[in-house]
Structure 1
Amino acid sequence: MIDLDDQATEELMRLYGAKTKAEAVRRAIDETIKLHKRMALMDAIDSGEIDLSHDARAA
């Protein structure tokens, strides 16, 4: 059990259309994880670690 700010969880519930606090928190956690994964992918592209200029289909 964790203590959550009621206003923040109500806002999450509104934003996600969630019926329960638990659902809203789970969705927020999932979205945060996805965001950080997208940011890591963009960083890898920007650094050259991932090269999108190669088209494997052309080989």
Structure 2
Amino acid sequence: MKRTNIVMDEKLIEEGMKTTGIKTRRALVDYALRDLLRRESQKRILELKGKVHWEGDLSSMRKGRRG
């Protein structure tokens, strides 16, 4: 891991820690970055809607599945 020093909005940090229950600044920044990456990945997947051609039979694929 690499160490980085940044200037951050103290009120934003306090609000984030209070809202999430996360106890450290490092954990809060890590959480926020991971959440940002997850949401951006989901956006990219949604942008593919209607652009990907798929052939298959969902009914036959689901046969024998539990749940």
- What interval of TM-score do these two structures reach, taking the shorter chain for normalisation? 0.7 to 0.9
Higher Cα Rg: structure 1 or 2? 2
CA deviation after TM superposition for structure 1 residue 18, in Å = 0.5
Instruction: Tell me if 1:2 matches 2:6.
Output: yes
2:31 aligns with one of 27, 33, 48: 27
Residue from 28, 37, 40 that aligns with 2:44: 40
1:47 shift after superposition: 4.2
TM-score by length of 1: 0.76
Count the aligned residue pairs: 56
- Compare the two structures and name the one with the higher helix fraction: 1
Q: TM-score, normalised by structure 2?
A: 0.68
Q: Which has the higher contact order (CA 8 A, sep 6+)?
A: 1
